[in-house]
């Protein structure tokens, strides 16, 4: 049973536009959420996180939105750049010491 | 600051053979994790160490997988004997402690034939 779901395997966006990556979760005990970015042949790199006491967290071009009632979070990248092309993983944990449960990832392609 | 180091980067073995992976975490990081990432899936935690003690190994197939972290620094993950379904990327990650951000190494890509 997948507890963290990324239903879009891929997304293609034009440079300069907004990229929106979505993630749904089923476990109501999850209260800490993260996004990791992965380039080919490299390990995942932490991008941004949000705890359940917030509904938005922003870091430069990256913003994560959390909708607890819908058990949904999204990552917005504005403006998108070709260097953002990578696989993005959503992850969740129950508590800051809980194990991370990852989604399957969404491959983002930003076209010049 | 040096990142998480892993070796080898690639390994091809035949089924029923054994294999070992090595991880050197970021200096000072007390918590070390091993993940398995099968193609098309997200990383799945196999085992978590806090210093040289095991915190969680509930997802580790203990009949064939073993891991150790002697002296609370480097760690090795072993598979013996390997099965075809063990083909995956094995990622090592470390964090200052269990509440902090996990930093991943580049992974070891294993192919079992």
Q: Is the pLDDT of residue A96 over 80?
A: no
Q: Tell me the C-alpha distance between B110 and A9, whole Å.
A: 23
Q: Is the pLDDT of residue A43 over 80?
A: yes
What residues are paired with A111 via a beta bridge? A14
Residues A5, A11, B38: CA angle, nearest 5 degrees: 50
pLDDT over 90 percentage in chain B? 90
Q: Is B42 close to A49, i.e. CB distance below 8 A?
A: no
The answer to whether residues A67 and A73 touch, using CB atoms and an 8 Å cutoff, is yes
Q: Is A103 close to B42, i.e. CB distance below 8 A?
A: yes
Q: Is B101 close to A43, i.e. CB distance below 8 A?
A: no
What pLDDT band is residue B1 in, cutting at 50, 70 and 90?
Answer: low
On chain B, the residues whose CB falls within 8 A of the CB of A4 are: 42
Q: Is the pLDDT of residue A68 over 70?
A: yes
Average pLDDT over residues A9-37: 96
Q: Picking from A3-7, A36-40, B39-43, B99-103, which range would have the lowest pLDDT averaged per residue?
A: B99-103
For residue A102, what pLDDT is reported?
97
Residue A100 sits at the chain B interface (C-beta within 8 Å)? yes
Strand order through the sheet with B65-68: B5-7, B19-24, B75-79, B65-68
d(CA A68, nearest CA chain B) in Å: 22
Q: Is B42 close to A42, i.e. CB distance below 8 A?
A: no
Average pLDDT over residues B47-68: 94
- Model confidence over B62-89: pLDDT tens digits? 999 999 998 889 999 999 999 999 999 9
For residue B52, what pLDDT is reported?
87
Q: Is the pLDDT of residue A13 over 90?
A: yes
What pLDDT band is residue B99 in, cutting at 50, 70 and 90?
Answer: confident
Residue A43 sits at the chain B interface (C-beta within 8 Å)? yes
Q: Please give the mean pLDDT across all residues of chain A.
A: 95
For residue B65, what pLDDT is reported?
97
Structure tokens at B71: 């002296």
For residue B70, what pLDDT is reported?
82
């Amino acid at each position: 049973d997948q507890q963290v779901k990324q239903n879009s395997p891929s997304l293609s966006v034009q440079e300069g536009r907004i990229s929106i990556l979505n993630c749904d979760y089923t476990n109501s005990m999850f209260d800490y959420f993260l996004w990791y970015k992965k380039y080919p042949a490299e390990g995942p790199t932490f991008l941004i996180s949000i705890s359940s006491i917030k509904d938005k967290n922003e870091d430069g071009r990256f913003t994560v939105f959390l909708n607890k009632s819908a058990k949904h979070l999204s990552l917005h990248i504005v403006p998108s750049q070709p260097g953002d092309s990578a696989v993005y993983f959503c992850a969740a944990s129950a508590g800051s010491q809980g194990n991370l449960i990852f989604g399957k990832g969404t491959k983002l392609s930003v076209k010049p | 600051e040096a990142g998480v180091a892993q070796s080898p980067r690639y390994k091809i073995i035949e089924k029923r053979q054994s294999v070992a992976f090595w991880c050197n975490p970021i200096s000072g990081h007390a918590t070390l994790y091993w993940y398995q990432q099968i193609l098309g899936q997200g990383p799945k935690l196999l085992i978590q160490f806090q210093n040289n003690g095991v915190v969680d190994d509930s997802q580790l197939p203990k009949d064939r997988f073993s891991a150790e972290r002697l002296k609370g620094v480097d760690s090795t993950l072993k598979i013996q004997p390997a099965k075809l379904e063990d083909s995956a990327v094995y990622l090592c990650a470390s964090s200052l402690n269990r509440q902090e951000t996990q930093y991943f190494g580049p992974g070891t890509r294993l192919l079992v034939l």
